[in-house]
Amino acid sequence: MARFDLTDFEWGVIQPLLPTKVRGVKRVDDRRVLNGIFWRLRTGAPWADIPARHGPRTPCVNCFNRWRRAGHSAHILHAVSEAYHGDIQMIDASSFRVHHHAANGQKNISDPVAWVAQAAG
């Protein structure tokens, strides 16, 4: 088990929430798929970069999209939070790489409203 893979406790909470009526292709290991989805969401890497231990990327992408549209993702996150009695925190952040010259440069702050008013006058 990798560092951020689902624990047995978490899997026990999530497994009953997953859809069981599946048509078409033979069902894959949901735990492995979820670990792949969570790896991708945690790292922000492209779907194509999901490690081989999570299986092919196609089931991860398909399940993520299908479960998100059906509302299963929200139920899963809510159930895990409840299982930990609300003692779980999730942070969503974005980071952008800035050119090293731009990081400490002088900022040219202008008021866009004043700029538009000057152009109109």
Query: Contact at 8 Å (CB) between 50 and 57?
Result: yes
Residue 117 included in any domain? no
User: Residue 64's closest CA among 39, 93, 90, 94?
Assistant: 39
- When pLDDT is cut at 50, 70 and 90, the band that residue 49 belongs to is very high
Give the count of domains, the chain: 1
Residue 105 included in any domain? no
- Note down the domain range covering 34: 8-83
Residue 96 included in any domain? no
CA–CA dist 5, 9 (Å, integer): 11
- Mean pLDDT for the chain? 78
Q: Flag whether pLDDT at 89 surpasses 80.
A: no
Residue 3 included in any domain? no
Compute the residue count for the chain. Answer: 121
Residue 92 included in any domain? no
Residue 53 included in any domain? yes
Residue 77 included in any domain? yes
